[in-house]
């Protein structure tokens, strides 16, 4: 099933593929020989799901993207204070390979330029050079979730031609930043830059940083959370060299590039992005990589200053109509069918700000269970903001479900999806949109019943003589009683009785729907239960002579036959056998009504205001 995320990534990939600006990193001979138009793009979520486009399994050397990873390892080995005594965290405003130190502190300005990266390599703990490199390799492998190896040809090429980096190493030694042989630190730096990765590896490395240092697929901790915070902070201000300011303004993600053509970007708590395209701009950043990240950030609304409050998962709760039934009274056959098949209608209650990451995780969760459902309700009533990409993803989810023969509805009282009216018609603007959760639960139950309950359904209408209340009476009793019942009609939306009104009698519903409702202290109206044709209401006030405890409202045009209090009292003297039979039926009906209310109140979904 192709998702909106797949589509957006594919669109970005196609637009960027036409861009052939930039040149290869020819100062490293081996890199000057790579295919210049190799291109791939990956997005990995903080729970490890990867979206891919292009040649995402092609290996290339990590180069300077290694810098934040080694810096993190140095923090873990030496502690933040010890590392800060050797490396500053300020943007340099200079090329990444500048032979210079801060004139005031006499330290490398940050760990993302070569001087800082060579210093970070010198701080890695180990018994010898081989042990230190092996710790670096294992560290990178933990980020990627697989064992990574070194490209020996690229390493040899860098070692043979890396005189500028050796000059930086000796400068660091002369200022006391490196205490041992600078050649060892520079060689370790060459080796770490020559580790092979794929774009998928880089995306999972970024997702590991987004996931607070824990690889989302393996569960291995690559870096402690307190160090992740510092690494991402430096990546934000320094990761894209002297183009960092433009990057933050237009992309808004902590990031790091490498002259091998890779770009790694992180949205903390949400996703990691990786791009590989070897052609570089004047800053040493991948041309396509920068363009792709700009377009993805815009399309997916990823700028780190626009972050949803429920970033990791937008799903507050999920349940079926078997666990959370509507307040609609059902026949025995319908209740049996819902007990057997109600698990095939599922509600997903979302909350918070629904931006890319929250929508992506929610949609993916719904799609993962789509094979086991007939109806899906997505409840947005607790959602505060819905971004454009999230709106598009929800529409795509609906279309995909409908294409599979599943039905989908949204609870959207605030109109996040653009619907201006409530409708069960899937062709309306915004799709099938309902005003409150109970209406959606009734709709989902109806989907299940239409598929799994072919008999014993609530009728559309009944004649007075055929009303189920009279099922236990003899024909002569029915014939004698029915003509004495007044028949009344109410337009939809009419309040039939109000809380505190005296009994009107036992109302037999001949057609239409009616709900009992209560109004809270803040003026919010809550539906308690709903009745349809073949059911009754008003029994308890009539039997006890007490006032109504709730309002009763006609949801649709309503037709009633009414057994008035006066007539019911008269039956005690004129037809006691008939009255006893009615009382037995009324007691059974009242018990079922109470059961419906209790089951509804025990539902996981909240009672929503009727708008």
Q: Which amino acids are annotated catalytic?
A: 64, 67, 189, 241, 259
* Other CB atoms within 10 A of residue 84 CB: 14
DSSP state of 485: S
In 480-565, where do the E strands start and end? 487-490, 495-497, 506-511, 514-519, 525-531, 536-537, 551-554, 558-563
Beta bridge partners of 488: 560
Q: Pick from 399, 398, 402, 277: which is nearest to 348 by CA?
A: 398
> In angstroms, how far is CA 101 from the centroid of its own chain?
45
Q: Pick from 24, 43, 495, 417: which is nearest to 253 by CA?
A: 43
Among all chains, which residue has been given the structure tokens 């004047």? 282
Residues 6+ apart with CB under 8 A from 595: none
> From CA 467, how far away is CA 582, in angstroms rounded?
12
> From CA 411, how far away is CA 525, in angstroms rounded?
17
C-alpha distances out from residue 439 to 256, 428, 442, 474, 611, Å: 50, 17, 5, 38, 11
* Other CB atoms within 10 A of residue 133 CB: 19
Helix (H) or strand (E) holding 163: helix 163-174
Integer Rg of the chain from CA: 34
> From CA 404, how far away is CA 519, in angstroms rounded?
40
Helix (H) or strand (E) holding 52: strand 50-54
């Amino acid at each position: 099933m192709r998702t909106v995320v797949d589509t957006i990534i594919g669109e970005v990939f196609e637009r960027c593929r036409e861009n052939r600006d930039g040149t290869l990193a020819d100062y490293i001979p081996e890199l000057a020989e790579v295919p210049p138009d190799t291109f791939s793009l990956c997005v990995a979520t903080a729970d490890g799901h990867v979206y891919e486009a292009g040649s995402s399994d092609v290996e290339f050397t990590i180069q300077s993207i290694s810098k934040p990873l080694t810096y993190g390892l140095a923090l873990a080995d030496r502690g933040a204070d010890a590392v800060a005594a050797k490396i500053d965290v300020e943007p340099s405003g200079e090329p990444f390979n500048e032979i210079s130190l801060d004139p005031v502190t006499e330290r490398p300005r940050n760990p993302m330029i070569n001087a800082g990266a060579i210093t970070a390599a010198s701080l890695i703990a180990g018994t010898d050079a081989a042990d230190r490199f092996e710790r670096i390799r294992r560290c990178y492998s933990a980020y990627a979730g697989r064992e990574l190896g070194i490209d020996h040809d690229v390493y040899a090429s860098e070692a043979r031609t890396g005189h500028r980096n050796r000059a930086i190493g000796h400068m660091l030694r002369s200022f006391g930043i490196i205490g041992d042989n600078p050649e060892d630190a520079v060689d370790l730096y060459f080796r770490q830059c020559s580790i092979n990765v794929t774009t998928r590896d880089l995306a999972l490395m970024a997702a590991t940083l987004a996931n607070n240092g824990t690889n989302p697929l393996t569960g291995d901790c690559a870096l402690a959370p307190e160090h992740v915070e510092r690494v991402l902070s430096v990546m934000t201000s320094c990761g894209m060299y002297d183009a960092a300011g433009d990057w933050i303004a237009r992309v808004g993600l902590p990031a790091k590039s490498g002259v091998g053509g890779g770009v790694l970007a992180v949205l903390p708590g949400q996703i990691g992005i990786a791009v590989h395209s070897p052609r570089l701009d004047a800053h040493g950043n991948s041309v396509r990589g920068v363009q792709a990240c700009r377009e993805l950030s815009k399309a997916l609304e990823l700028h780190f200053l626009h972050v949803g409050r429920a970033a990791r998962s937008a799903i507050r709760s999920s349940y079926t109509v078997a666990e959370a039934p509507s307040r609609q009274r059902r026949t025995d056959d319908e209740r049996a069918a819902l007990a057997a098949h109600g698990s095939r209608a599922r509600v997903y209650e979302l909350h918070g700000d629904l931006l890319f990451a929250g929508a992506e995780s929610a949609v993916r969760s719904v799609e993962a269970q789509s094979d086991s459902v007939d109806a899906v309700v997505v409840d947005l009533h607790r959602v505060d903001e819905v971004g454009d990409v999230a709106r598009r993803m929800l529409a795509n989810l609906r279309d995909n479900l409908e294409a599979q023969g599943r039905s989908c509805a949204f609870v959207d009282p605030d109109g996040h999806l653009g619907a201006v009216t409530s409708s069960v018609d899937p062709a309306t603007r915004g799709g099938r949109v309902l005003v409150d959760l109970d209406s959606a639960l009734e709709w989902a139950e109806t989907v299940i019943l239409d598929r799994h309950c072919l008999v014993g359904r609530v009728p559309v209408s009944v004649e007075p003589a055929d009303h189920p209340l009279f099922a236990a009476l003899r024909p002569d009793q029915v014939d004698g009683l029915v003509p004495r019942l007044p028949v009344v009609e109410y337009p939809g939306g009419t309040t039939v009785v109000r809380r505190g009104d005296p009994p009107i009698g036992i109302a037999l519903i001949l057609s239409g729907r009616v709900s009992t409702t209560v109004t809270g202290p803040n003026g919010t109206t809550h539906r308690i239960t709903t009745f349809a044709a073949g059911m009754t209401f008003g029994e308890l006030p009539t039997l006890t002579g007490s006032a109504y405890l709730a309002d009763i409202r006609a949801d649709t045009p309503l037709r009633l036959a009414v057994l008035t209090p006066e007539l019911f009292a008269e039956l005690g003297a004129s037809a006691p056998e008939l009255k006893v039979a009615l009382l037995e039926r009324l007691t059974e009906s009242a018990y079922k009504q109470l059961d419906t209310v209790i089951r509804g109140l025990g539902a996981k979904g909240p009672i929503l205001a009727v708008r």
